[in-house]
Amino acid sequence: MPLVLQPPEPNKGDLESLLFALKENKDWFEQMIINNSAVLLRGYNVEKAEDFNEIIEIFGWEEIHYVGPAPRTHVYKRVLTANEGPLSEFIYYHHEMVLIKECPNKVIFFCEIPPPEGGETPFVPSFRVTERMLEEFPEAVEKIEEKGIKYTFTAPSKNDTSSMRGRGWENTFGTSDCAEAERRANALGMDLEWLPNGAVQATLGSRSLTKVFDGRKGRRMWFNTVVGMHGKEHSSAMMADGTELPEHVVKRCEEIIEEESIQFKWEKGDVLFFDNMALLHARRPSLPPRRVLVAITK
């Protein structure tokens, strides 16, 4: 992983040839994403957001509006920036929009400017985390699964790019009207509590610990963000009945995820497709500049 697809000949790396090949092989390519969980296009002349958008639109996949804590900027049509939080921070492993009822099937990245050092996007086969957690903590895993998980997080009113979780609620819900924000949050499975400083605390529950998706060999995916939100300054994760999660179980899960991670180093022009149902992904700290763009789809 990932499956790497490169130009068949040196003179076949132009964008037009790539778009033609993708158009002629759409069904095969989509099946490769499911079969391999990650597919990389490397060595093609993909230079800017407009080129990346053309690749995305070839497939006709339905776009999904991003809902989450990461500060992002709309760049062009279906293209957004990846998390704009400080490059010095590690962004923890996650399935994109894992807590939202309608999360994306695919996350597609494009590297416009690779970092001079660091900035890898490691990823993890999610089923391996479930397998290892069941080996080490079978009773705890099944107990948490049975009770479900409740999450909370706090979002400021406006975007704060000094934090990797600094996306404001106005940007998240596409409105500055509190009543409308509540309506949209409820539709996504969230309850909101307004704070005196203009921020909002969102509560999401009950969510499952693992999930099985069609076409993924019956594998049980570690489809949660327990490690990423448990015991953090602006977020929490606990069992749905309010029982605290065992600290040693969460800590060991963090270690297992890192042990199972596959490192991916960016090159300019890379386009990387992830099966969001099957992979967790992260971002390692880097030196600037680093510019990676993203699209999320069904």
| Structure-derived torsion over alpha carbons of residues 210, 214, 217, 220, reported in degrees to the nearest 10 | 0
pLDDT, tens only, 28-50: 999 999 999 999 999 999 999 99
**pLDDT value at residue 233:** 86
pLDDT at 50: 98
Q: What is residue 267's predicted lDDT score, i.e. its pLDDT?
A: 98
pLDDT of amino acid 61: 97
Q: Name beta bridge partners: 109.
A: 272, 294
Q: What is the CA radius of gyration of the chain?
A: 19
From first CA to last CA, the distance across the chain in angstroms is 22
Give dist(CA 251, CA 256) in Å, integer.
9
Written in H, E and C, the secondary structure of the chain is: CCEEECCCCHHHCCHHHHHHHHHHCHHHHHHHHHHHCEEEECCCCCCCHHHHHHHHHHHCCCECCCCCCCCCCEEECCEEECCCCCCCCCEEEECCCCCCCCCCCEEEEEEEECCCCECCCCEEEHHHHHHHHHHHCHHHHHHHHHHCEEEEEEECCCCCCCCCCCCCHHHHHCCCCHHHHHHHHHHCCEEEEECCCCCEEEEEEEECCCEECCCCCCCEECCCCHHHHCCECCEEEEECCCCCCCHHHHHHHHHHHHHCCECCCCCCCCEEEEECCCEEEEECCECCCCEEEEEEEC
Q: Which amino acid does the sequence have at 59?
A: F
- The tens digit of pLDDT for each residue in 218-276 reads 999 999 999 999 999 889 999 999 999 999 999 999 999 999 999 999 999 999 999 99
| Residues near 194 by beta carbon (within 8 Å), at least 6 away in sequence | 178, 200
The whole-angstrom separation of Cα 291 and Cα 298 is: 24
Query: Residue 10's pLDDT band (boundaries 50, 70, 90)?
Result: confident
